[in-house]
Amino acid sequence: MAESLDDLEARIDELRTAVRRALMSGDRDQARRLRSDLRQAEAQWDDALLAIEPDEPASQSRTESQDAGPLLTIRDQVHQALTFLSVPAAPKLIVALRQAVFAGALNGQQLTSLRRDEERSFRTTPWARPYYLCAALTADRLSPARGLLAVSTWPLATRIVGPLSPRVHFLTSAIRVAEHLSHPDWATLPARRLLWQFAANIPGAATSFDTMRPDAVRRAAQAELDVHLDADLSQREAAARRAADQLDDLHQLFGADLRVASHAANDT
């Protein structure tokens, strides 16, 4: 099962890259087909993940995990949450997602030093791990975006944050949560509460918690996302090209320091 999940995650990354390239080339028909393939791969990832979840009630599972120790390390739990969202995220959202969707018990303090630990590991032995939890980078200065975590295996442009990216990330996260809630096994009250936090800030998504429907939230979020996505992608792609030209591997993952950022900004 672990190999199946790894294969699906690799396929999802490849499809995201293909969607981005199709949009950049102006081939919207191909982009739509690839997005359909991407949603199917993500659904398969969901099913594969559900297959390894314990069958007993969540309360019992949490009790047993407290006795036997966590099944996943904090690092793996954060990676799981970020893979679910597919965009950089703040610790607050990662914690909320773990609690609502995965019945996890992360807290923000556990994530405080995680990125620094990952950077120290990379400095000591570069590329020794299959992935690193790294920083999202600002599009203007290529410095670490405050409080945002990303995954090193994502394309560089996905790890860049431009002026429109916070809204794009918000809408993308809403879509991911809505898609998961369409699966009966995910439709828990905590997950619905999380979706409502998104829906309440998306025009046309829902009028109340009780009348909220995941498909309606997804459609409203996708409609707004389609307005912003191309412009955001263009800004992030341009910044990614600069980062690839100007930064070494370490700084592409964890951001440029003040000296490197100033040099990169002067070269634009």
In the chain (268 residues long), the average pLDDT of successive 10-residue segments reads: 63 78 76 79 70 44 36 86 95 92 78 88 92 96 95 95 97 95 81 95 95 95 96 96 96 81 51
- pLDDT score recorded for residue 107: 76
Cα–Cα separations (whole angstroms), residue 160 to 17, 35, 116, 150, 236: 14, 21, 19, 9, 6
- pLDDT score recorded for residue 73: 85
CB-based burial, 66-104: b 16+ in 10 Å, e otherwise = eeeeeeeebbebbbbbbbbbbbbbbbebbbbbbbbbbbb
| Model pLDDT for residues 55-83, shown as the tens digit of each residue | 443 333 333 333 333 567 889 999 999 99
**Alpha helix (H) ranges present in the chain?**
2-24, 28-51, 58-68, 74-85, 91-101, 108-111, 114-124, 165-181, 189-199, 214-246, 249-254, 258-266
- pLDDT score recorded for residue 267: 53
Question: How is residue 197 written in tokens?
Answer: 């936090």
CB-based burial, 147-175: b 16+ in 10 Å, e otherwise = ebbbbbbbbbbbbbbbebbbebbbbbbbb
Question: How is residue 38 written in tokens?
Answer: 């991407």
Instruction: Find all residues with CB under 8 Å of 1, minimum gap 6, and list them.
Output: 48, 51, 52
| Model pLDDT for residues 183-215, shown as the tens digit of each residue | 776 778 899 999 999 999 999 999 999 999 999
In the chain, the N- to C-terminal Cα span, in Å, equals 46
Burial of 230 (0-12, 13-18, 19+ CB in 10 A): middle
- pLDDT score recorded for residue 49: 64
- pLDDT score recorded for residue 63: 33
- Taking the C-alpha atoms of residue 42 and residue 17, their distance in angstroms, rounded to an integer, is 14
Q: Amino acid letter at 193? A: R
pTM of model > 0.85: no
- Taking the C-alpha atoms of residue 170 and residue 210, their distance in angstroms, rounded to an integer, is 22
- Taking the C-alpha atoms of residue 251 and residue 91, their distance in angstroms, rounded to an integer, is 21
Going by C-alpha positions, the residue among 118, 112, 114, 159 that lies closest to residue 136 is 159
- pLDDT score recorded for residue 3: 44
